[in-house]
Amino acid sequence: MASPDAGRTVSIAEDEQLQHRLRKLIATPKGRHRLRERVAVEHRLARLGRKQGQRARYLGVRKNLYDARRPS
């Protein structure tokens, strides 16, 4: 038989209040607009990360910019 202390525990995240505030912000038209802008940027960064990896392939900004802009 299990002890009376055994069982499930529920813990609240440290940033719970922040999460609630951000959810309310997303519910507004201004918040949705900001979220859509952010999603576009994150998708581009993810694509670049898939293409190049975590590190720059070449030394120097010019060569890496060329590498990022060339067709895949």
pLDDT tens by residue, 37-65: 999 999 988 988 888 888 888 999 999 88
- Say how many domains are in the chain: 1
Number of Cβ within a 10 Å radius of residue 56: 14
- State how far the Cα of 14 lies from the Cα of 72, in Å rounded to an integer: 42
Question: Which residues constitute the domain of residue 53?
Answer: 17-69
Coil, strand, or helix at residue 6? coil
Please check whether residue 12 lies inside any domain of the structure.
Answer: no
Kindly tell me the number of DSSP H helices and DSSP E strands found in the chain: 3, 0
State residue 3's pLDDT score. 63
Q: What is the value of pTM for the model shown?
A: 0.53
Residues 6+ apart with CB under 8 A from 25: 31, 34
Please check whether residue 43 lies inside any domain of the structure.
Answer: yes
